[in-house]
């Protein structure tokens, strides 16, 4: 029987990383590869994993200074769980896991420490912290048997900052998600949807400027997510007389977030940087075109002019023009909706992701349905030309 796979993720709040880990654990377990999850104490992921029938344990990843204590907790859990494959997701979990996991899993085809980079954040940190975070990434990648990048952009960052050379092996495996197809037929209530944390990275404050630029039209906007910029966004919307157009739904569990997103016509994603965001993939499964910032990671998902539009990250006029073009042209919206769903079904099927990870673990060879990906691979566009 294959050994148990233990996934470790330091941030169990709603978001792309937690969704990707829970999706992978559920798919692997359903395929006969028993999985468990270690994540932040009292986080929503603990409840979600338990509800899905996945064994879950907790540790305190909340402070960077708590790394050694987190490592001790991880070691105790790994011994108790009898881990064969230890799979860390993101540096917050990767650093304490790298301190203990390699010594707890004997080398072998079915005994590995694997690390997935869910977006590099160190290039965006201030001087000093940037160098420390870079060093932590290098340490983790050197200790892992294989490092996984979720986008070609992250792979290139790893090469540019001389991190990939430290990894014994690396490859690219795209994120994927499971979305209830029954949500596709939901009645549309909102013109525009925003799904993400209200954080500087996601650039939510630009939404007020975009709505102002679209005047005299008054499209409705549903903001799905919470965070430290929520009050600032409320104040800006009120100051511009836009509050009546916007429904701020706050932080939602994933099911609630997708139900709300399904009721929107278009997704807007104005992020400053990303790894391989799940929001546009979820939107595609629901048939929503995306207007997004033209940044690495995101521009590997959204196909310009086919499944959505890509615009300069901070250009309010470009967001406004593209949103108006979609919302004012039912034929264009319908065409992009069909293309988005076809893209999601072909390129972002969860089974492809699970099969690729099984191959990394050594459980099965790759098949025709899960093509080889490596650290130098790019992505083919979703729409066949």
Q: Same domain, yes or no, for 123 and 224?
A: no
Kind and range of the H or E element at 36? strand 35-40
Residue 364, pLDDT score: 60
Identify the pLDDT of residue 110: 64
> Are 104 and 172 contained in the same domain?
yes
**Residues of the chain above pLDDT 70, percent:** 92
Same domain for 291 and 328, yes or no, is yes
pLDDT at 373 over 50: no
| For residues 285-302, average pLDDT | 96
Per-position DSSP letters for 275-333, written without gaps between them: SS-SHHHHHHHTT--EEEE--TTGGGTS-BTTTEEEE-TT-HHHHHHHHHHHHT-HHHH
Residue 381 lies in a domain: no
384, part of any domain = no
Q: What is the CATH number of the domain that holds 317?
A: 3.40.50.2000
Span 83-106, pLDDT tens digits: 899 999 999 999 999 999 988 886
Query: CA-CA distance, 189 to 31, in Å (whole number)?
Result: 37
How many Cβ atoms from other residues are within 10 Å of residue 55's Cβ?
Answer: 16
Specify whether 39 is located in the same domain as 100: yes
Tell me, yes or no, whether 109 lies in a domain.
yes
205 and 233 part of one domain: yes
Q: What is the mean pLDDT of residues 194-217?
A: 96
Say whether both 171 and 33 belong to one domain.
yes
Residues 197 and 284 in one domain: yes
Shared domain for 195 and 130, answered yes or no, is no
Does the residue 383 lie in any domain?
A: no
Give the chain's radius of gyration (CA, Å): 21
Q: Are residues 140 and 194 in the same domain?
A: no
Residues 130 and 191 in one domain: no
- Residue 253 belongs to a domain: yes
* pTM: predicted TM-score of the whole model, two decimal places: 0.84
What is the predicted pLDDT for the residue at 307? 98
Question: What total of structural domains would you count in the chain?
Answer: 2
Asked if residue 130 and residue 232 are part of one domain, the reply reads: no
Domain that holds residue 194: 181-346
Q: Do 103 and 158 have their domain in common?
A: yes
């Amino acid at each position: 029987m294959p050994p148990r796979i233990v996934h470790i993720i330091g941030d169990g709040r709603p978001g792309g990383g937690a969704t990707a880990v829970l999706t992978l654990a559920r798919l692997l377990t359903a395929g006969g590869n028993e999985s468990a999850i270690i994540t932040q104490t009292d986080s929503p992921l603990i409840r979600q994993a338990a509800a899905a029938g996945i064994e879950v344990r907790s540790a305190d990843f909340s402070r960077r200074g708590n790394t050694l204590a987190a490592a001790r907790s991880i070691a105790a859990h790994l011994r108790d769980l009898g881990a064969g494959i230890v799979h860390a997701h993101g540096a917050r979990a990767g650093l304490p896991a790298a301190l203990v996991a390699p010594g707890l899993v004997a080398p072998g085809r079915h005994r590995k420490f694997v690390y997935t980079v869910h977006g590099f954040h160190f290039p965006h940190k201030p001087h000093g912290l940037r160098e420390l975070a870079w060093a932590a990434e290098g340490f983790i990648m050197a200790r892992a048997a294989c490092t996984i990048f979720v986008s070609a952009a992250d792979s290139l960052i790893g090469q540019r900052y001389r991190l990939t050379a430290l990894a014994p092996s690396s490859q690219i495996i795209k994120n994927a998600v499971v979305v209830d197809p029954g949500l596709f037929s939901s009645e549309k209530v909102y013109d525009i949807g925003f799904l993400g944390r209200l954080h500087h990275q996601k650039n939510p404050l630009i939404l007020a400027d975009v709505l102002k630029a679209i005047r005299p039209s008054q499209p409705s906007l549903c903001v799905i997510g919470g965070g430290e910029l929520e009050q600032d966004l409320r104040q800006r919307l009120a100051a511009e007389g836009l509050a009546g157009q916007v429904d701020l739904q706050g932080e939602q569990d994933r099911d609630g977030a997708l139900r709300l997103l399904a009721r929107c016509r278009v997704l807007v994603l104005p992020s400053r940087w990303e790894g391989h965001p799940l929001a546009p993939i979820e939107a595609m499964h629901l048939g929503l075109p995306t207007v997004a910032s033209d940044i690495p990671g995101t521009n590997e998902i959204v196909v310009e002019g086919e499944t959505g539009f890509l615009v300069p990250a901070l250009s309010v006029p470009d967001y406004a023009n593209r949103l108006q073009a979609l919302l004012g042209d039912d034929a264009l919206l319908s065409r992009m909706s069909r293309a988005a769903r076809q893209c999601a079904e072909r390129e972002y099927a969860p089974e492809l992701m699970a099969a690729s990870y099984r191959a990394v673990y050594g459980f099965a060879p790759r098949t025709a349905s899960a093509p080889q990906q490596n650290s130098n691979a790019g992505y083919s566009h979703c729409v066949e030309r």
